[in-house]
Amino acid sequence: MAFDFDLFVIGGGSGGVRAARVAAQGGARVALAEQDRYGGTCVLRGCVPKKLMVFASEFSGLMRDAVGYGWQVDAGQFDWPRFRARLHAELDRLEAVYRDLLAARGVSLYDSRARLVDAHTVELADGTRHSASTILIATGGRPSVADAPGAALGITSDDVFHLDALPARLLIVGGGYIACEFACIFRGMGVEVTQYYRGAQVLRGFDDEVRGLVAEEMRQSGIDLHTGTQVLTMERGEQGIEVKASNGTLRSFDQVLLAVGRTPNSSDMGLEEAGVKLDRRGAITVDAYSQTTVPSVYAVGDVTNRVNLTPVAIREGMAFVATVFGGCPTAPDHALIPTAIFTQPEVGTVGLSEEEARGRGAIEVYCNSFRPMRSAFLGRHARVLMKLVVCADTRTVLGCHIVAPGAGEMIQLAGIAVKMGATKEDFDRTMAVHPTMAEELVTMHEPVRRA
């Protein structure tokens, strides 16, 4: 049977675009359909605009520090509309880059929603159908809808970048990395931030010492963080959005940001009708090679709910192309993925937390929390954390955890060592770079505890 295309990609985010571009570069006839803008969550509603907001929010603290270092500073007020205009101009530029990269490789682009008809057929919103030997689903995810009464009054992370003005009083509901990052961002921009999280501590799934220090520093920065707290009701009142919480409070806010998780974009796509299996959360079920239960249909990125990170989606897309079009079956490696959380201070982590490692055998923990030179000079009590979790038998570094300014940059390099299987003695043999915060990673010679 002759197909219109060798590959039809549904979804123009990081994973889909990379797969389409590389496959086309190798000579495949490729089409891509995207119902929104090119770039996906990362470029348009996630990593990129969020990181730019992090940069913007950090200047308030930097200018306060500048005074302590002898500079005369008159910063004035943060101009949100001016920043937002530049932000959207940058996002427009990046989207154009994505389109140009695809066009340059000869990818046929369809600005349309697409759904599966059968194992080899895609239907666009206007009813047009195209056939393909292989179909790749890369539709990503979206913010989950909260089930609290009155939740329709709230906004999600997708809406943050389009606010007409910064709220004076903001409530953030949630305790994951998205909630915590935006709490720090808005606090740095001068917003009065309150955060409710139903769990006992924020950042569930990360190392407990990391979680504790981040929560402490968030509170020190002025974020009114309440754990073990759920929203009971939300109603529009004279003073704003009135929120009744399980901690017994009734407070008014100008905006409520609901950051309670994300959901795979798999609904109303004809997937199950075509035989593609979904799990109970709507994620597409795939094997180690990203193949679905329909042999000609593959899926990568957040829609599979494996590891929901942009670099992972890109790596999955590359592995898919190598498998299907390169004659080299390649399973993406999801082990020991370095991760950063852009709270203030940042978190960088790779490998096992102390709690996870304890369940796998005897360990040693090397850890130091201290005031770095920069803040100690100013008399500030801000602290950082450097931590290594080591297998007591093999001496392999099982996990590295950093809470500090620039932790994301540090963990990228530390992640190489951990991925290579470095031992604690390998770290010890490495000369320290002085004076730096990261030198603690190679100068901690005595464990603080064994388990």
Sign of the Cα torsion 225, 211, 280, 158 reads: positive
Look at the block and give the residue holding tokens 């249909």: 297
Pairing of strands 129-137, 141-143: unpaired
Those residues whose C-beta lies under 8 Å from the C-beta of residue 367, and which sit 6 or more positions away, are 209, 385, 386, 387, 388, 444, 448
What's the DSSP call for residue 193? E
CATH 3.90.1150.10 at 339-450, yes or no: no
C-alpha span between 331 and 317 (Å, rounded): 10
Cα separation, 360 vs 451, whole angstroms: 10
Q: Check if the beta carbon of residue 158 is closer than 8 Å to that of residue 140.
A: no
CA distance 24 to 103: 10
Residue type, 369: S
Beta-carbon count within 10 A of 137 CB:
30
**Annotation marks residue 88 as catalytic:** no
Residue 130 neighbours by CB distance under 10 Å: 20
Q: What confidence tens digit (pLDDT) does each residue in 294-316 have?
A: 999 999 999 999 999 999 999 99
CA dihedral for 239, 240, 241, 246, sign (positive or negative):
negative
Look-up of token digits 């992972």: 312
> Mean pLDDT in runs of 10 for the chain (451 residues)?
95 98 98 96 94 96 95 90 97 96 97 98 98 98 87 95 97 97 98 98 98 98 98 95 96 97 96 98 98 98 97 98 98 98 98 97 98 96 97 98 98 98 98 98 97 94
Q: How many CB atoms lie within 10 A of CB 306?
A: 19
Query: In the structure encoding, which two tokens stand for residue 68, read together?
Result: 């302590």
* C-alpha span between 356 and 361 (Å, rounded): 10
Kindly state which CATH superfamily the domain 151-259 is placed in. Answer: FAD/NAD(P)-binding domain (3.50.50.60)
CATH 1.10.3720.10 at 5-143+263-324, yes or no: no
**What residues does 365 pair with on adjacent strands?**
389, 449
Three-state DSSP class for residue 78: coil
Q: Do domains 5-143+263-324 and 151-259 have the same CATH topology?
A: yes
Q: Which of 120, 130, 434, 445 is catalytic?
A: 434
Cis peptide before 345 (omega within 30 of 0): yes
Instruction: From residue 339, give the alpha-carbon distance in Å to each of 309, 401, 411, 432.
Output: 9, 10, 7, 23
Confidence (pTM): 0.96
- State the pLDDT at residue 344: 97
What are the strands, taking DSSP E only, across 61-128? 108-110, 114-118, 121-124
What one-character DSSP code corresponds to residue 284?
B
pLDDT in tens, 259-289: 999 999 999 999 999 999 999 999 999 999 9
Per-residue pLDDT, 149: 81
**Non-local CB neighbours of 47 within 8 Å, separated by 6+ positions:** 41, 310
Domain edges within the chain: 5-143+263-324, 151-259, 339-450
DSSP-derived secondary structure for 369-437: EE--HHHHHTT----EEEEEEEETTT-BEEEEEEESTTHHHHHHHHHHHHHTT-BHHHHHHSPPPSS-S
